[in-house]
């Protein structure tokens, strides 16, 4: 359903900076893919490209065999709010709105009927366990609740693809686990395709597949087996392999 | 880097941040300085201008100065608001509260100093324009030539350096630094939704309604008595309108999901209700300041047109010369010859005519009765409508509007018949509003045959009139002045010269009024601008976030458009309504309709505000779009 073909991104400026080079990525419908890599590896650039927030310098991004980057600005905005859902590290909830109002915002922008919006909001709130805080304002709820509200907002219009950028970055370990297992459940039950960018190996271990990139290049890819625990271990191993230079390893052996 | 260098570099290397505050200070200095250039013009000090006008200008200068003080203070505090985070950062590096105060003080003095210099420089550039403008509005015999305004420069420089010194001291003392964590998180904090009480919202409506009703209901001299209480009631009402009623209405709107959840309304209204606390104060201030500007300019303009109309109506002819019955025939001949000679000298073309105004006693007073032929002769002279009168009818010509006597003669004349010599009477059956004969009060016109049958008149005045052709105003003023100097104003009237003299006295008042009105209005605009730009960063953040979810260009424009329009027009609409009511009350006081004048003044301001809105909206949208896309 998502195809990233030979995508490169170059930032022109005083110093030309190559953020991504020749990345290929394919995600099938219902897949849950995590992108990992050290800081500055280009993972958020990749996500922004898929999210149509940024444009690739060369190569193309296809969502359901269509290239959204060929759309004009208005159609692109509509495409984003109908086909994509976003979850961010800093929740990005409007503090002037209640939780419920934040959730239905993408629908109101699309001019849906109030009854339908209410229905959908209640249904999804029930699923995510935030039904009691629907009328609360964003500063009255905890981080975990805020992120769940943000997920509810990202899911309310049943997007084809859910994009999450460090969704656990601002959460404690308990809330991180809650949020990630919720995303996993949504992926399994609703068959929502998900793409997750994260630093956190714990969070990445909830995915079916983890793609590692380093310095803007594809590094490796591992698939989850039966146990999440072993998957977590192999993620850690790959990270430590990727993290250092060859000399680092020799110094450990000494 | 010494501390002083740090503070100065902080300003100089951060120009954009300080630009808005700097420009508004510069603007204030410029306004004051242009006024000073005008007020200190040498032409006013050679004794040709009357003392009251100089006094008026001193007062006006004082008003502008006091106003500048509050304006700069306001812009400064809204500027400091947006820098909380910076202060927090500096304190985290170990800057003491005293040092922050010192820094703010030095920054302000630096900005103030350059704003004063800049304002004076810009003022000099516009000096010629303002002098030309003043020359046209004022009727001044000698032209206001350009001069080097040394006195104005000194006065402006000294007053504003003192002003900035006081404000810098004042602000650095009241600067509350509070807790470090509050400062750093200043932009993350939710201010909380303002509360509104139903009772106060209702009181707002009641106060405004009763204020308006009183202002519109009272007539005549009562208006003056009602003025103060009405102003107090309306000012309080306006304050409650913005702080309570508007919040209440928005909350009610938010409750209705059908409205609130429709498209971009949610983004618009939620913000509106949260900003209302900050907005309310700005709205209130802008509404009141604009109302003052509208009412001041409206009433000055209204007064002028009121006087001019009165003079015009009472004197339909260019020149009038009246001789009383006991005057000597030869004196009269001599004076008329003098007038004719003056007219020849200035090559004034026109017609003249003579009428014997015959007054008859009626009830307790005397009233003029004239014949159809005499009336029509004068009507022809002016190109007005002739009248046709049958023997059995009489026409009453109404008072000119200059007559302000209560229960004017009109009614009495219509009720009382014209008595003839043989005792028969003619009942008046028509009333005309014409200004044909040189007579201020109302009078009768009857047919020629009936005029012959009138009794002996109680008194007779002979009036000679000259009606000059159009387009000779300058010559008429000069001739008028010459004749006036010799004959005097007792039995001679020269309308163009009179108008000239009235304008000469009234011009400076109008100019000062206009000037202050415009200063108020422009600063009201700046308040709105500050309000808008204080929220710019928050707005950028908000729209960036929504745009990630998908917000089309059109929708973004729509939200910004409505948001800005509300900010710009909510207080102005209130001010327009206030102004309209105030001008209506004023017109009731004089029983003279000011609809045209009010419509023109209020209309002009509305147009200016719309243009201002379009410009600001353009730049604001551009800024937001640059941040978002």
B257, B274, B550 member nearest A114 (Cβ):
B257
Which domains, and CATH codes, for chain A?
A: 2-253 (3.40.50.300)
- In three state form, how does the secondary structure of B21-81 look? HHHHHHHHHHHHHHHHHHHCCHHHCCCCCCHHHHHHHHHHHHHHHHHHHHHHHHHHHHHHH
The per-residue pLDDT for range B119-165, each reduced to its tens digit, is 999 888 888 777 777 777 666 655 667 778 888 899 999 999 999 99
**Domain limits of chain B?**
1-189, 192-315+506-629, 316-501
Q: B565: distance to nearest CA of chain A, Å? A: 20
With bands split at pLDDT 50, 70 and 90, how would you rate the model's confidence at B516?
Answer: confident
Provide the pLDDT for residue B185.
65
pLDDT of residue B101: 83
Does the pLDDT value for residue B409 go beyond 50? no
Residue A155: closest CA among chain B residues belongs to which residue?
Answer: B549
- Widest CA span of chain B, in angstroms? 110
Confidence of residue B399 (pLDDT cuts 50, 70, 90): low
User: Does B261 touch chain A if contact means CB atoms closer than 8 Å?
Assistant: yes
Shortest distance between the Cα of A98 and any Cα of chain B, in A, equals: 10
Q: What is the pLDDT of residue B336?
A: 78
Mean pLDDT, rounded, for A46-60: 88
Measured between beta carbons, which residues in chain A are less than 8 angstroms from residue B257? 114, 118
| B264 touching A (Cβ < 8 Å) | yes
Q: What pLDDT sits at residue A252?
A: 45
Show residues of chain B in contact with A81, CB under 8 Å. Answer: 549-551
pLDDT tens-digit series, residues A197-241: 998 899 999 999 999 998 888 888 999 988 888 999 999 988 888
User: Are A153 and A102 spatial neighbours (Cβ–Cβ below 8 Å)?
Assistant: yes
| Residues of chain B neighbouring A53 (CB-CB closer than 8 A) | 548
Lookup result for tokens 């505050």: B21
What pLDDT does residue B138 have?
Answer: 66
Residue B8's pLDDT band (cuts 50, 70, 90): confident
Q: What is the pLDDT of residues B37-65, one digit of tens each?
A: 877 877 766 655 566 667 777 777 887 88
**Would you place residue B176 in the very low, low, confident or very high pLDDT band (cuts 50, 70, 90)?**
low
C-alpha to C-alpha distances, B554 to A74, A110, B258, B321, B547, nearest whole angstrom: 8, 13, 22, 71, 12
Answer whether B360's CB lies under 8 Å from B441's CB.
no
The closest of B83, B81, B75 to B282, measured between CA atoms, is B75
Q: Model's pTM, two decimal places? A: 0.76
Task: Give the containing element (helix H, strand E) for A228.
Answer: helix A228-243
Instruction: Round to whole Å and give the CA distance between B109 and B102.
Output: 11
Q: What is the least distance, in Å, from the CA of A99 to any CA of chain B?
A: 13
């Amino acid at each position: 359903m998502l195809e990233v073909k030979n995508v490169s991104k170059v930032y022109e400026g005083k110093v030309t900076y190559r953020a991504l080079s020749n990345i290929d990525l394919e995600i099938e419908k219902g897949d849950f893919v995590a992108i990992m890599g050290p800081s500055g590896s280009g993972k958020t650039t990749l996500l922004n490209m898929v999210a149509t927030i940024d444009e690739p310098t060369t190569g193309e991004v296809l969502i359901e065999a269509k290239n959204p980057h060929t759309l004009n600005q208005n159609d692109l905005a509509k495409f984003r709010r109908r086909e994509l859902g976003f979850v961010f590290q800093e929740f990005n909830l409007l503090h002037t709105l209640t939780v419920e109002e934040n959730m239905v915002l993408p629908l109101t922008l699309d001019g849906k009927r109030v009854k339908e919006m209410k229905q959908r909001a209640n249904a999804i709130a029930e699923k995510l366990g935030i039904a009691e805080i629907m009328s609360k304002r964003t500063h009255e709820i905890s981080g975990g609740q805020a992120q769940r509200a943000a997920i509810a907002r990202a899911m309310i219009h049943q997007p084809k693809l859910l994009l999450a950028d460090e969704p656990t970055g601002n959460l404690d370990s308990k809330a991180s686990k809650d949020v990630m297992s919720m995303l996993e459940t949504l992926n399994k039950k609703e068959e929502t395709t998900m793409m997750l960018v994260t630093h956190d190996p714990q969070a990445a271990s909830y995915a079916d597949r983890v793609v590692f990139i380093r310095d803007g290049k594809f590094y490796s890819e591992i698939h989850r087996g039966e146990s999440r625990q072993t998957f977590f271990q192999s993620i850690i191993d790959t990270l430590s392999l990727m993290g250092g230079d060859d000399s680092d390893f020799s110094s450990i052996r000494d | 880097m010494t501390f002083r260098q740090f503070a100065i570099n902080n300003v100089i290397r951060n120009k954009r941040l300080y630009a808005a505050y700097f420009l508004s200070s510069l603007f204030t200095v410029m306004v004051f300085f242009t006024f000073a250039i005008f007020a200190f013009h040498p032409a006013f000090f050679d004794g040709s201008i009357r003392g009251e006008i100089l006094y008026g200008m001193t007062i006006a200068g004082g008003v502008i100065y006091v106003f500048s003080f509050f304006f700069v203070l306001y812009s400064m505090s809204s500027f400091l608001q947006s820098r909380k985070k910076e202060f927090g950062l500096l304190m985290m590096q170990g800057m003491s509260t005293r040092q922050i105060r010192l820094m703010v003080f030095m920054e302000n003095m630096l900005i103030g100093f350059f704003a004063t210099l800049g304002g004076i420089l810009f003022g000099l550039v516009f000096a010629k324009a303002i002098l030309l403008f003043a020359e046209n509005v004022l009727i001044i015999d000698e032209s206001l030539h350009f001069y080097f305004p040394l006195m104005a420069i000194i006065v402006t420089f000294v007053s504003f350096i003192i002003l900035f010194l006081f404000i810098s001291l004042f602000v650095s003392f009241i600067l509350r630094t509070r807790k470090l964590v509050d400062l750093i998180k200043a932009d993350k904090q939710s201010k909380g939704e303002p509360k509104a009480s139903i009772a106060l919202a209702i009181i707002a409506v009641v106060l405004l309604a009763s204020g308006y009703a009183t202002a519109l209901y009272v007539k005549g001299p009562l208006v003056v008595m009602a003025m103060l209480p009405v102003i107090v009631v309306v000012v309080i009402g306006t304050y409650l309108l913005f702080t309570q009623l508007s919040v209440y209405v928005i909350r009610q709107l938010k409750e209705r999901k059908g409205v609130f959840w429709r498209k971009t309304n949610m983004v618009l209204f939620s913000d509106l209700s949260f900003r209302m606390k900050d907005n309310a104060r700005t709205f209130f201030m802008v509404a009141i300041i604009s109302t003052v500007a509208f009412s001041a300019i409206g009433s000055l303009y209204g007064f002028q047109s009121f006087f001019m109309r009165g003079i015009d109506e009472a004197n339909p002819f260019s020149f009038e010369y009246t001789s009383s019955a006991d005057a000597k025939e030869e004196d009269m001949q001599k004076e008329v010859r003098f007038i004719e000679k003056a007219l020849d000298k200035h090559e004034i073309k026109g017609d003249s005519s003579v009428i014997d105004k015959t007054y008859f006693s009626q009830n307790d007073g005397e009233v003029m009765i004239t014949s159809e032929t005499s009336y029509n002769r004068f009507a022809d002279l002016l190109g007005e409508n002739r009248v046709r009168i049958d023997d059995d009818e009489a026409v009453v010509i109404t008072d000119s509007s200059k007559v302000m006597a209560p229960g004017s003669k009109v009614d009495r004349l219509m009720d009382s018949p014209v008595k003839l010599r043989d005792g028969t009477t003619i009942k008046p059956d028509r009333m005309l509003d014409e200004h044909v004969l040189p007579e201020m009060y109302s009078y009768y016109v009857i047919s020629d045959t009936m005029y012959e049958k009138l009794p002996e008149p109680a008194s007779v005045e002979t009036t000679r009139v000259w009606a000059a052709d159009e387009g000779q105003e300058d010559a008429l003023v000069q001739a008028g002045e010459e004749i006036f100097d010799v004959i005097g104003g007792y039995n001679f009237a020269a309308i163009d010269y009179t108008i000239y003299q009235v304008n000469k006295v009234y011009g400076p008042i109008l100019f000062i009024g206009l000037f202050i009105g415009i200063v108020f209005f422009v600063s009201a605009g700046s308040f709105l601008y500050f309000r808008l730009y204080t929220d710019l960063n928050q707005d950028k953040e908000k729209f960036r976030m929504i745009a990630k979810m998908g917000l089309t260009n059109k929708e973004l424009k729509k939200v910004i458009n409505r948001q800005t329009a509300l900010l710009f027009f909510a207080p102005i609409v209130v001010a327009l309504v206030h102004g309209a009511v105030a001008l209506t009350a004023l017109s009731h006081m004089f029983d003279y309709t000011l609809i045209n004048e009010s419509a023109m003044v209020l209309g002009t301001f509305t147009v200016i505000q719309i243009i201002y809105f379009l410009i600001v909206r353009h730049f604001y949208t551009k800024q937001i779009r640059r941040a978002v896309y």
